[in-house]
Structure 1
């Protein structure tokens, strides 16, 4: 999972064998390492990480201390600097997709193939998740988290206006119209890091095949289907359905106070609600966002999985691998998922929140068409241009054609030196 700029991260953040070496084989654990430091871009989760450190000390004799960042550029700079300095994390969080492939290509990440093979064999990880962590036929890192994206909504606002979760896109728009007439912004959006959220949702819910082709360079941002999605997004902004994108209020507070009735995020946002003392089913709810295109055979659902990694040259490779193996086990994952109120990458773990548990079960059974989150699906240079473009668009929606053209310039440059379809 990504986290960025102080408040938004803390927001969105508040709202990703003892003995397996970097080659995926076995290696003796170095003596003397009894506490690991986990560097992460999820500063608001420090409490949960530290609780895991207490549990790991009890269960495997290795404690873990969180070193959390809330500014994404600063965090990424630190991790990349650790590749060439002596200040190296024992463990660190990252993102899958192009950014993971980049540092794996630089031979900076420890291989975890043996952990994956054992975990899949004993049912602690699903083989369906492995492709997100597979580069060149080998696995790297393990799942820090798995998350399904949908809509969190303020239940009290819905109840006050006689609303219920929609079954179709038209019903969702009817809800937005009702709220607008009552002076309540229907949806949260932002001009900061998560500016891509509505683009990915509208495109995946309209034409998921086009979404996939776009991420692999087989379609262009200037193609008619993409342009139509931007027009729809613009029409929603023009209709007054969204809050002010420049508002720096934590999204968790936005939903709690009813400054916007609905917030679209991954199931990890549940943690933001529980941290604010909100109760699922009483104060807030969660529903799957209906497709824009009702004729699609399955509802498109955005999916993400954030990795927990070790450096190839970690301070104590054996200790780091021991921790990663423990992390994916049912005992650790039960604690991790329950504390945050989220789904787990481990299929054995039961989820307390009924709505989220139901979504996780349905997604795992193939009921939805899972769509890789835009942040991971899009090559890093194209993503940078897109984030800048979408950030400008939400403030000036009339610029959508120029925004798409500018992103396509970055896409053309990238795909001119990379094989399309990869």
Structure 2
């Protein structure tokens, strides 16, 4: 009898163990096989995609699950430690520039060049965006979303002083002068990392080709043409066109402390929720005009790439998800919630998003450039941000020369 009881107990234990294994998320169950996780440091993405997820499932047969890790350092460490193993994520969000380059150098990313050619471009993803995700002639990323930058302005303040969106750069300067004459600070300059914004915007306005040379390392920070851009910025600073460094640029704009700020379209939902601003009625946006009427103005963009872990056991499912992600219906659902999209064919409800997206995709009349922050090594970015604040504090040609020489000296050390 004791022997029979022992057999029964062993059998029950074995069943329990097998049951636990089946529920333990090992990837062997049919349920687990139909779920693809996307690792991200962007905690709001699961909400942005809430309307898109059922459509992705319908089109791909797979559930997409967002797994956020909002802490930047913890996220970066976790991803880097897993990428060389079979536990590598099938999909994860990352950053363009040197951080993406390092992953490619270590052969940790799946090549998506053919996916772009066969699926993404055909579904309406702007071909220009691929340039920021291309390394050594191959495309290694796909856009989570695309955020465009432009000049927000307070329509009530503009109306009070009979101001309209500028058609030329001279018009823009006249707007600044009119505001100054009436005791209004024209432009909020921002804080912390935002010091690069106006040098970038002005170079896009003065010489978009020079911007490419500069960010590709073909033109030095000490190049006389680059200096000319910073001299223009320092002159505008000295004239009082910009505010002091702020703790909350958005709040100062929203409360009318400043009339304009240069920033990105992902602020729009916050303007609506926190301040009750209606796009196109209370606030609007324009692209900074070119200083030369014969040149195209420049729209700067940010892109958070989705990457595919080359060593992931689920990478084929991840690739399948991405084929669905750029479907018109999926992107429309994403845009309806977030106000952003990765394709040009969606109907954006927000008039500001709609306008600047149309401009960004109008390559005949506008340049489209990846913003400064993603273009250089982190050491150069961090140093340059500090040096640009020195220029903001002392807007003189002497300080411009000193700051640009310091940045170039560091650039030379890193790239001898």
More displaced stretch, 59-68 vs 101-110: 59-68
Q: Quick check: 1:53–1:65 contact (8 Å CA) kept in 2? A: no
Contact 2:199/2:233 (8 A) holds in 1: yes
Kindly report which structure 2 residues correspond to 1:367-386, keeping only aligned pairs within 5 A, or say none: 367-386=365-384
Tell me if the contact between 1:52 and 1:64 (Cα under 8 Å) persists in the aligned partners.
no
1:341: which partner in 2?
339
Corresponding residue for residue 8 of structure 1:
none
Q: CA deviation at 1:62?
A: 0.5
Q: Which moved more, 1:392-401 or 1:260-269?
A: 392-401
Structure-2 change in CA distance of 1:302 and 1:122 (3 Å): closer
RMSD across aligned C-alpha pairs, in angstroms?
A: 3.0
Q: Could you say which structure has the larger radius of gyration?
A: 2
Deviation sequence 1:67-89 (CA, Å, 0-9, x none): 152x6556544543444689755
Structure 1, unpaired ranges of 5+: 1-27, 417-422
> What SS does the aligned partner of 2:187 have?
coil
C-alpha displacement at 1:325, in angstroms? Answer: 2.0
- After superposition, the Cα gap between the structure-2 partners of 1:300 and 1:348, relative to the gap in structure 1 and judged at 3 Å, is closer
366-375 or 349-358, which deviates more: 349-358
CA contact (8 A) 2:123 2:327 kept: no
TM-score (norm 1): 0.80
Instruction: Give the superposition deviation at 1:287.
Output: 0.9
Q: Do the aligned partners of residues 141 and 223 (structure 1) sit closer, same or farther apart at CA in structure 2, a change above 3 Å counting?
A: closer
Matches of 2:313 and 2:273 in 1, distance apart? 34
Distance 1:120 1:43, change over 3 A: closer
How many residues are matched? 384
How far does residue 218 in structure 1 lie from its aligned partner after superposition?
1.8
After superposition, residues 295-374 of structure 1 pair within 5 angstroms as 295-314=293-312, 316-342=314-340, 344-366=341-363, 367-374=365-372
2:247 paired residue number: 248
Partners of 1:73 and 1:199 in 2: CA distance: 29
Which residue of structure 2 lines up, in the alignment, with residue 289 of structure 1? 288
Cα pair distance change 1:106/1:231, threshold 3 Å: same
Contact kept, 8 Å, 1:29 with 1:319, in 2: the verdict is: no
SS at match of 2:289: coil
Q: CA deviation at 1:151?
A: 0.9
Q: Deviations over 1:264-317 (max 9, x none)?
A: 1233333333443421111111111112x2244222232343311232234632
> SS of the residue aligned with 1:289?
coil
1:223, distance to aligned residue in structure 2 (A):
1.9
Give secondary structure in 2 for the equivalent of 1:309: strand
Deviation, structure 1 residue 43? 3.9
Worse-matched range after superposition: 72-81 or 154-163: 72-81
Counterparts of 2:147 and 2:155 in 1: how far apart (Å)? 22
The residue aligned with 1:280 is: 279
Call closer, same or farther: CA 1:244–1:321 in 2, change over 3 Å: same
Give the match for residue 216 of structure 1: 216
Structure 1 range deviating more: 87-96 or 100-109: 87-96
